[in-house]
Amino acid sequence: MNALPVRDDLVALAGYHSPQVSVDVRLNTNESPYPPPGGWRAALVEELATVAFHRYPDRGAIALRRALAAHHGIMPEQVYAANGSNEVLQALCLAYGGRGRTAAVFEPTYALHSHIARITGTAVATGERDQDFAIDLSEVARVVSEADPALTFLCSPNNPTGRADPSEVTEAVLDLAPGLVVVDEAYGQFSRWSALCLIVPGVRGGHNRPGSDRLVVVRTFSKTWSMAGARLGYLVGPARVVSALEQVALPYHLDAVKQVAGRLALDYQAEMEARVALLVEERGRLYSALGQMEADAWPSEANFILFRPRRRKGSEVWSELVERSVLVRDCSSWPRLEGCLRVTVGTPGENTAFLAALTEVLE
């Protein structure tokens, strides 16, 4: 008997992977190169000793959401937390997408937006960014008028291009798009402006701006908070959206350990900001060094830089970097990113090792 085939629409969907090659310098998945602060680790261990592991965790993750709300100056009812921001995106698609509904994306952008949409049975309407990878508002107008999307995804700063959307663009998209506008700010702390300004009361017109009741901002603990291993992300948005997401979440989806881990992390904001400052400085060093090489690099407001070797094939450069024990992301076969690679900003030592290896490869 033949094994039961999977859903027809899954067959066409390739997975999303970055090869985990064993190397000394791993600059391929945009994590923080630094472990979390020692004080956080000690506080976590201490508090874990008191967790009632025989009981289910707090289903509403109240203490964590209160702490996040205090961190952003909003109400706990405006916060939804899940297992990484990818799971937040999945919950959004489950609640607002699905059969007969469409999500709009503007390529090139984070591949999981369209991937998660399709897995949840949501149709995807694709628009193109302009030649500098900025959001093109006439293209947004075209896509939303043709597809009437229930969800419109922005990604700021955008992965993998590094470009952030300014407030005028975000507000213009909010005016054009009919449904929810999801701003994925996985790298938001590296950028100069955040769409949270359009939600948080008292900040630049804040939540009183027309349309801001359709805006949600998604953040993660995986990058700036140095907690990719904990799998924790969250959304800030209207309370009615948070209630809808709670409806599609599995019971007790957020385990007790990460509820504590996330809440305690927020006590170390100053340390987080110091790391962000260091990474931004190193990003500047990487960007100018790339500018001296036979490569074109795009300005970035995130913790990574997209670049394209001028005279060598991207995939060959990728392999030759791996031979030198440096792993970056090979984007060279992605649409509109022919020949491109993406490097995560690492520690100063890792960045120096990357630049030395790349210099050798490009010479």
Cα 190 from Cα 186, distance rounded (Å): 9
Which of 64, 361 has the CB closer to ligand PMP? 64
**Cβ distance to ligand PMP smaller for residue 85 or 114:** 85
CB closer to ligand PMP out of 37 and 188: 188
Exposed e or buried b for every residue in 282-316, given b needs 16+ CB within 10 A? Answer: bbeebbebbeebebebbebbbbbbbbbbeebebee
| Distance of alpha carbon 38 from alpha carbon 321, whole angstroms | 32
Rounded least distance, CB 189 to ligand PMP, Å: 13
In angstroms, give the least distance from the CB of 84 to ligand PMP: 3
Amino acid at 175: D
Nearest to ligand PMP of 86, 194 (CB atom): 86
* Contact (CB, 8 A) for 116 and 86: yes
Query: Is 27:346 a contact under the CB 8 Å cutoff?
Result: yes
> Smaller CB distance to ligand PMP: residue 32 or 159?
159
Residues that bind ligand PMP (CB under 6 A): 30, 84-86, 110, 155, 159, 184, 186, 220, 222, 228, 233
- The token pair at 75 is 């109400």
DSSP 8-state symbol, 198: G
Judged by beta carbon, residue 30 or residue 152, the one nearer ligand PMP is 30
CB closer to ligand PMP out of 34 and 324 = 34
The 3-state DSSP class for residue 60 equals coil
Q: What count of other Cβ atoms lies within 10 Å of the Cβ of residue 174?
A: 20
**Closest distance to ligand PMP from the beta carbon of 126 (Å):** 17
Please tell me the distance from the alpha carbon of residue 27 to that of residue 31, in angstroms, as a whole number: 8
In the bound complex, what is the minimum distance in angstroms from residue 85's beta carbon to ligand PMP? 3
Angle at 283 between CA 273 and CA 264, to 5 degrees: 25
Report the residue number whose CB is nearest to ligand PMP. 84
Helix (H, G, I), strand (E, B) or coil at 309: strand
Angle 16-337-111 (CA atoms, 0-180°, nearest 5)?
Answer: 25
Closest distance of CB 132 from ligand PMP, Å? 19
Q: Is the dihedral of CA 289, 346, 302, 284 positive or negative?
A: negative
Going by C-alpha positions, the residue among 299, 293, 295 that lies closest to residue 314 is 295
Q: Between 95 and 357, whose beta carbon lies closer to ligand PMP?
A: 95
Q: Max CA-CA distance within the chain? A: 64
Locate 29 and state its tokens. Answer: 């998945």
Q: How far is the CB of 3 from ligand PMP (least distance, A)?
A: 31
- CB-nearer residue toward ligand PMP: 86 or 114: 86
